[in-house]
Amino acid sequence: MQRFANPGRFRRLARVVLPWTSGAAVVLLVAGLWFALAASPADYQQGESVRIMYVHVPAAWTAMAVYLALAVASALALVWKHPLADVAAQAMAPIGACFTAVCLLTGSLWGKPMWGTWWVWDARLTSVLILFFLYLGHIALANAFDDWQRGARAAAVLALVGAVNLPVIKFSVDWWNTLHQPASVTRIGAPAIHPAMLTPLLLMGFAFAALFATLLIWRMETALAERRLRALAAASAAEPGPALAGGPA
């Protein structure tokens, strides 16, 4: 991990990786949307509204995976003092919040025709809403202090504490009697879903993962450039100005 602690080495690696992740995101998104909207059949119970699932479920997967990555980055920052871990954590939190918002919005759009309401205080829905608030709390704490290091530490502690919500989201449909359907893809044995519907789900899942990687690299490069500019500005302000003519040297 320490090999990539140097910002210069990270930038060189990012220049190599970024074209691949951005290209993969575009190709997979196009393929996933084509399979989701054109190639896959309508569900015999849900009808055409099943197509919302091809955005909702991958967004939920990505939202949870990003928070897990956020917790890992926070642990690296707090325990091992990894120089880029705080940068990565603060860069990925808004991305994860956006994926969580997409998950909640598409879930509401699906819930209205299926359940007759936009929202229910279901265990799965409520725990995902808590995940969204954890993301917002991390963003707020990271920017709440004049000293960015204090803000980063406070946000990292919140991220680690909030990680206990991830198994609650995952197993809420098993632990409680909820309206939300149980897992049909990530379950022991074969997935309980037809390959015609599984294909767009997986394509969109990989597309969202590639999109996350692309956005994370962009945001980290921007954050590192901003820190370098602030450091140069501070160094320039600290330099003594030229002496006035006739004044003390």
Question: Domain residue spans in the chain?
Answer: 2-180+194-228
Q: What is the pLDDT of residue 119?
A: 85
Q: Does the pLDDT value for residue 240 go beyond 80?
A: no
Residues 6+ apart with CB under 8 A from 200: 32, 35, 36, 39, 40, 54
Nearest alpha carbon to residue 102 among 127, 128, 123: 128
Is the pLDDT higher at 115 or at 51?
51
Mean pLDDT of the 29-42 span: 92
Question: Cα–Cα distances in Å, from 196 out to 41, 51, 56, 202?
Answer: 7, 12, 17, 11
Q: Does the pLDDT value for residue 188 go beyond 50?
A: no
Opening angle at CA 33, ends 27 and 34, nearest 5: 90
Q: Check: CB of residue 42 under 8 Å from CB of residue 50.
A: yes
What pTM value is reported for the model? 0.86
Is the pLDDT higher at 41 or at 138?
138
Range of lowest pLDDT (92-96, 168-172, 233-237, 238-242): 238-242
Mean pLDDT of the 57-76 span: 96
Q: Check: CB of residue 46 under 8 Å from CB of residue 114.
A: yes
Q: What is the pLDDT of residue 186?
A: 53
Tens of pLDDT along 87-102?
A: 999 999 999 999 999 9
Q: Check: CB of residue 77 under 8 Å from CB of residue 186.
A: no
- List the beta bridge partners of residue 47: 43
Name the residue with tokens 């963003």: 139
